């Protein structure tokens, strides 16, 4: 059937409209595509270029060199040594097991380290660098480099590792570093990305830990080009970080070496402080340990040996150890009484060997008593009864207040681990601690440095320096940071009556130089270096009335842990104090026999700066001292001094 002209015109119109609509739609879509292409190719070109670059370029952190630590004379006591290691990146490796097999065929891999590395690769992000082998030889590095095409994702690297040339001598002072642990990271809210670097080392204890912020430095950045399998092709650019600050401490390495050797394997501690500046010239705890073992990864057997040693080599007894100060506390009790005006230096008390208070006997160390005793004799011969009497007159509040003025019960700001506060007890302290009232017996025990009184060797050294100078000497361990000197601890005048201080010092001189003095056998005979000192013996067990009737058991007949602690403090020269010394020998017995000889030897070594002449010792000691000096030089030689040492 033929269409009419009208129908044909209508049909042609519809086709034209559809064509126009379709054409318009096509043109619109092409316009949108053109605009989108322009947007992507022109306006977003930089962003896509960057994304493409990121597939080809990696940004990696450059660990900074840790600041070095020097002694007061410029000897390096903590340094950075080159260390070679093999690292892997899981994403770049592909087949981890295959690559490890190939690597094992080239170099010897420690099974424990390898298992730890595999665990790290499983637990961490795939782009993290993991150390497979640490402290490998240069030959091993060369083998890996030569076989690089067969080891995708494996990189031989040269890094820095901490080394302690003096080993055990500075273990408790400088401390040591170790790899960042999960525990370390858990303590930080937003850990520095640098801490996620494989086997990155941070300070764990001692100065290394306390001044981590200064010693660590800040990371640098490098951009490297990698190929399709992730192998580094070339380094594009690098921005170096900031090296950690170098630090100089006040300790004298030679003196520290001698003090550690003189303490030997006893459970003991010694502190030497400069009376003028407060510089800690030596701060030694014995027995000690080699901190390099921890840096390199200490074995289970070695660690067990340290933790199970009853002498506690891991503890720094100089600042962590708290001991009843015994008779070394008597100078402070005497000063409290003198300053309060309840006694004069000439007042006497009668010592019959004991005093009875509230139906209880408090004994003097001398069973038969000392007779009439004044201040001078009470210190010279260490009469206990004299101080029992003073305690009743002056009271615990004033005794403890004087003790705090001299550093007992004060936590000093020294960058070492776990510094203990010690204790100068008061009535309120006992009530809060035990819910009990203070009794007169507590004051009597405190008067001879027993009972609730506790002090560290560092506090005893500070106390002695303050007695010697009359100034509030403060201990200083850091001498300078990047050659910028830190403030000294000279301290201001304490406001103590100078005549009272002279009386105390005069009596301390007699302790070491009068034939009746408790430390006369350990005196210094060189006139220029004569010392003033005080012995101390603190009990760690109660002596029963029955034992006193039958005879007190001698220390040497008791188990080690039940023997008395031995203490001695001194300053020298007595007429121009340069140094103060405190020595504590745990369970050593009597202060005059165990601690005083050590303190005397340390004092002479510090004053002479080298092995003192035998003429400085009493004649009867000279042969023994000569043999002792030879043994110490032979068994504890100083590390050779590197000419590059500088603070």
Residue 510 has pLDDT above 50, yes or no: yes
Topology of domain 58-249, CATH: Penicillin-binding protein 2a (Domain 2) (3.90.1310)
Sign of CA dihedral 44, 47, 52, 55: negative
Which of 4-18, 163-177, 249-263 is least confident? 4-18
**Sheet architecture: strand order including 579-585:** 280-286, 268-274, 579-585, 565-572, 532-538
- Which of 194, 215, 67 has the alpha carbon at shortest distance from 129? 194
Cα–Cα distance for residue pair 377/370, rounded to 1 Å: 9
Mean pLDDT lowest for which of 132-136, 168-172, 456-460, 473-477? 132-136
Contact assessment for residue 223 and residue 236, using Cβ atoms and an 8 Å cutoff? yes
Out of 101-110, 265-274, 453-462, 589-598, least confident range? 101-110
Beta strands in 539-644 (DSSP E): 565-572, 579-585
Residue-level pLDDT at 642: 56
- The answer to whether residues 358 and 364 touch, using CB atoms and an 8 Å cutoff, is no
**Cα dist from 165 to 78, 134, 179, 639, whole Å:** 7, 20, 20, 7
Of 316, 327, 378, 443, the catalytic one is: 327
More confident residue, 386 or 223: 386
Nearest alpha carbon to residue 431 among 420, 442, 421: 442
Domain locations along the chain: 58-249, 253-305+312-593+609-635
User: Which residues make beta-bridge pairs with 154?
Assistant: 88
Task: Name the nearest CA neighbour of 204 among 240, 169, 180, 168.
Answer: 180
> At residue 280, does pLDDT exceed 80?
yes
Q: Is 286 a catalytic residue?
A: no
Cα–Cα distance for residue pair 286/269, rounded to 1 Å: 6
Per residue in 41-60, pLDDT (tens digit) is: 666 666 555 544 445 666 76
Contact 390, 447 (CB under 8 A): yes
> In the 8-state DSSP scheme, what is residue 520?
G
**Residues 380-397 as b or e (16 or more Cβ within 10 Å = b):** bbbbbbbbbbbbeebbbe
pLDDT tens track for 136-157: 878 888 888 888 888 887 878 7
Q: How many other CB atoms are found less than 10 A from the CB of residue 98?
A: 13
Nearest to 364 by CA among 374, 356, 377, 352: 352
CA distance 315 to 171: 10
Q: Residue 230: is its pLDDT beyond 60?
A: no
Q: Is residue 60 left, alpha or beta, with left meaning phi > 0 and alpha meaning psi from -120 to 50? A: beta
In this prediction, residues 596-607 reach a mean pLDDT of 98
**Correct CATH for 253-305+312-593+609-635 of 3.40.1190.20, 3.40.50.300, 2.170.120.20, 3.40.710.10:** 3.40.710.10
* pLDDT reading at 645 higher than 60: no
Report helix angle 96-106 to 138-146, nearest 10: 130
Comparing 181-195, 247-261, 324-338, 478-492, which segment has the lowest mean pLDDT?
A: 181-195
CA–CA dist 106, 489 (Å, integer): 57
Distance from C-alpha of 57 to C-alpha of 50, rounded to nearest angstrom: 10
């Amino acid at each position: 059937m033929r269409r009419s002209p009208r129908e044909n015109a209508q049909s042609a119109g519809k086709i034209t409209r559809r064509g126009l609509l379709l054409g318009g739609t096509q043109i619109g879509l092409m316009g949108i595509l053109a605009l989108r292409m322009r947007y992507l190719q022109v306006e977003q070109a930089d962003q896509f270029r960057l994304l493409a670059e990121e597939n080809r370029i990696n940004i990696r952190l450059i660990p900074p060199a840790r600041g070095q630590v020097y002694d007061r004379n410029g000897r390096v006591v903590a340094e950075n040594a080159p260390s070679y290691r093999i690292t892997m990146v899981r994403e770049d490796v592909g087949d981890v097991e295959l690559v490890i097999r190939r690597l094992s065929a080239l170099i010897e891999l420690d099974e424990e380290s390898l298992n730890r590395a595999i665990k790290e690769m499983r637990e961490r992000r795939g782009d993290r660098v993991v150390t497979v082998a640490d402290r490998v030889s240069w030959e091993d590095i060369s083998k890996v480099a030569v076989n690089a095409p067969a080891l995708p994702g494996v990189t031989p690297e040269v890094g820095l590792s901490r080394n302690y040339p003096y080993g055990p001598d500075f273990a408790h002072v400088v401390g040591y570093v170790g790899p960042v642990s999960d525990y370390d990271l858990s303590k930080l809210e937003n850990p520095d990305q640098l801490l996620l670097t494989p086997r990155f080392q941070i300070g764990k204890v001692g100065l290394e830990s306390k001044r981590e912020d200064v010693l660590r430095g800040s990371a640098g950045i490098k951009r490297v080009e990698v190929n399709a399998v992730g192998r580094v092709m070339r380094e594009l650019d690098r921005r170096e970080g900031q090296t950690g600050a170098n630090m100089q401490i006040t300790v004298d390495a030679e003196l520290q070496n001698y003090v550690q050797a003189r303490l030997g394997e006893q459970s003991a501690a010694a502190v030497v402080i400069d009376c003028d500046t407060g510089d800690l010239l030596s701060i030694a705890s014995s027995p000690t340990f080699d901190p390099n073992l921890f840096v390199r990864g200490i074995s289970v057997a070695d660690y067990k040996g340290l933790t199970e040693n009853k002498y506690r080599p891991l503890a720094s007894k100089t600042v962590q150890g708290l001991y009843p100060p015994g008779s070394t506390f008597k100078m402070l009790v005497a000063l409290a009484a003198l300053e309060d005006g309840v006694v004069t230096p000439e007042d006497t008390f009668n010592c019959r060997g004991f005093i009875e208070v509230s139906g209880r006997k408090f004994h003097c160390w001398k069973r038969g008593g000392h007779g009439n005793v004044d201040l001078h004799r009470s210190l010279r011969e260490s009469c206990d009864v004299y101080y029992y009497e003073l305690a009743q007159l002056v009271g615990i509040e004033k005794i403890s207040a004087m003790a705090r003025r001299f550093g007992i019960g004060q936590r000093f700001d020294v960058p070492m681990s776990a510094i203990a506060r010690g204790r100068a007890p008061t009535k309120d302290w006992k009530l809060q601690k035990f819910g009990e009232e203070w009794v007169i017996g507590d004051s009597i025990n405190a008067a001879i440095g027993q009972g609730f009184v506790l002090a560290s060797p560092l506090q005893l050294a500070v106390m002695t320096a303050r007695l010697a100078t009359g100034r509030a000497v403060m201990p200083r361990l850091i001498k300078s940071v990047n050659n910028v000197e830190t403030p000294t601890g000279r301290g201001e005048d304490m406001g103590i009556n100078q005549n009272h201080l002279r009386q105390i010092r005069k009596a301390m001189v007699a302790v070491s130089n009068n034939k009746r003095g408790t430390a006369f056998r350990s005196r210094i005979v060189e006139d220029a270096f004569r010392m003033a000192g005080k012995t101390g013996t603190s009990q760690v067990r109660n002596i029963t009335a029955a034992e006193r009737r039958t005879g007190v058991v001698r220390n040497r007949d008791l188990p080690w842990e039940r023997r008395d602690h031995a203490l001695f403090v001194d300053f020298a020269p007595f007429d121009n104090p340069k140094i103060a010394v405190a020595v504590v020998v745990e369970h050593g017995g009597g202060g005059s026999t165990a601690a005083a000889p050590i303190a005397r030897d340390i004092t002479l070594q510090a004053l002479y700066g080298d092995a003192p002449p035998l003429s400085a010792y009493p004649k009867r000691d000279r042969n023994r001292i000569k043999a002792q000096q030879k043994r110490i030089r032979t068994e504890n030689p100083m590390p050779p001094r590197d000419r590059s040492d500088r603070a």
